[in-house]
Homo-oligomer: A and B are copies of this chain.
Amino acid sequence: MNTEITRLREKRRSDRAELDALLDDVHVGHFAIVRDGTPVVFPTAVVRDGDRVLTHGSTGSPWLRALAAGASTSLAVTAMDGIVIARSAFESSIHYRSAVLFGSCYQLAGAEKLRAMDLITDALIPGRVAELRPHTDKEIAATQVLALPIETWSLKVSDGWPEDPPEDVAGDAWAGVVPIAPRYGYPRPAPDLRDGIAVPASVAALR
């Protein structure tokens, strides 16, 4: 179900492929829950796995535990893709892609949990899992992995040109779009990195 957007209807998208593209591009998510009657929002890494969104963290995290217990939640995933420079402040805006999902999470266990942990690592650092030692039992036990089904969601995309009225277009102001994209810098080796260990393929490929 694709929930209704009451404003800016022209920016609503119902294409699941567009939702998936956003979720595969952006790995920062913001979960909201209600705690003691008050809304609380938490940022966390999120990774799509088919028809669900995975998140993970410490078994000691109170808000992950609240989600694991089935708390009603809302998850926003947002990309800021550019600045729309119009001929007035009023028409100036942002290029964005914004998904909001609603529902409840469930907890993963066993082989499914292990697979999800690897999927999260490889989403953030593609190819890294194959370069690393396996998880220890202690590490697995200290991690909880949750999934939010992709069922109830809305997607808004702003990717157009400025929409100035004719009297502004006739004026002298410039108009256009300045794109913004995240950029990876050069890998910086840890101070305790032993000599002779080269940057691995997964890390080199991030750039």
Q: List which A160-191 residues lie within 8 A (CB) of chain B.
A: 161-162, 164, 168-191
Number of copies: 2
A130 shortest CB reach to chain B, Å = 11
CA of A203 to CA of B186, assembled, Å: 27
A163 shortest CB reach to chain B, Å = 9
**Are A189 and B175 touching (Cβ within 8 A)?**
yes
CA of A188 to CA of B197, assembled, Å: 43
Which bracket fits the contact residues of A?
A: 35 or more
Q: Given A30-B78, A102-B38, do A177 and B173 touch, yes or no (CB 8 Å)? A: no
Checking B45, B92, B192 against A175 with a beta-carbon cut-off of 8 angstroms, the contacting residue is B192
Checking B40, B121, B128, B176 against A32 with a beta-carbon cut-off of 8 angstroms, the contacting residue is B40
Q: Is A17 in contact with chain B by the CB < 8 A criterion?
A: no
Q: Given A7-B62, A118-B89, A161-B192, do A38 and B180 touch, yes or no (CB 8 Å)? A: no
